[in-house]
């Protein structure tokens, strides 16, 4: 978090028109090093937190884990659809983002459950470990 604060001190917080920071020389190098190192620290922190708090076996976690590759492959179309739907509205970005997530996830999870999970597509994406509806309890 300290590196994030350093990066924000270098480029500033408020921009009227964001065109990216204009940095030169040593300040640019310092910013790049802080940004890169901070990004890796966040990755390790999130992975560490996931290992610590999400390691217990749970049917919901297992289901989302199985569905994650399908969601990754198919999310672009649903997100683009909801971007077009929310574009005419003058809403804050966080509201539009929420609409995109809350609109996309049910569609992606339903298509995974009914069209992928127990089909040959699911076997390709997740391997042959998922046999049928009876295996939901594993």
For residues 31 and 7, the answer to whether their CB atoms sit within 8 Å is yes
Six-digit token string for 25: 């020389």
Average pLDDT, the chain: 88
**Over residues 13-29, mean pLDDT:** 74
* 78 and 132 co-located in one domain: yes
* 74 and 47 co-located in one domain: no
Query: Residue 18: phi, psi to the nearest 5?
Result: -80, 115
* 46 and 77 co-located in one domain: no
pLDDT at position 137 is 47
* 130 and 67 co-located in one domain: yes
* 70 and 120 co-located in one domain: yes
* 102 and 131 co-located in one domain: yes
For residues 3 and 37, the answer to whether their CB atoms sit within 8 Å is yes
State how far the Cα of 67 lies from the Cα of 112, in Å rounded to an integer: 6
70, with CB counted inside 10 A (0-12, 13-18, 19+), is buried
* 92 and 130 co-located in one domain: yes
* 83 and 126 co-located in one domain: yes
pLDDT in tens, 32-68: 999 999 999 999 999 999 999 888 888 998 899 899 9
Domain extent, residue 7, equals: 2-53
User: At which of 29, 53, 77 does a domain end?
Assistant: 53
Q: How many domains does the chain have?
A: 2
* 68 and 131 co-located in one domain: yes
State how far the Cα of 108 lies from the Cα of 103, in Å rounded to an integer: 9
* 80 and 125 co-located in one domain: yes
């Amino acid at each position: 978090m300290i590196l994030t604060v350093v990066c924000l001190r270098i480029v500033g917080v408020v921009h009227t028109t964001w065109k990216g920071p204009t940095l030169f020389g040593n300040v640019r190098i310092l910013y790049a090093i802080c940004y890169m190192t901070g990004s890796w620290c966040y990755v390790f922190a999130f992975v560490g937190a996931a290992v610590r708090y999400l390691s217990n076996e749970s049917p919901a976690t297992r289901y989302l884990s199985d569905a994650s590759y399908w969601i990754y492959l198919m999310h672009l179309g649903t997100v683009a659809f909801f971007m077009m739907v929310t574009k005419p509205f003058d809403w804050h970005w966080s509201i539009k983002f929420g609409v995109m997530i809350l609109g996309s996830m049910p569609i992606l999870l339903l298509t995974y459950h009914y069209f992928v999970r127990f089909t040959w597509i699911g076997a390709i994406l997740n391997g042959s470990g998922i046999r049928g509806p009876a295996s939901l309890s594993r």
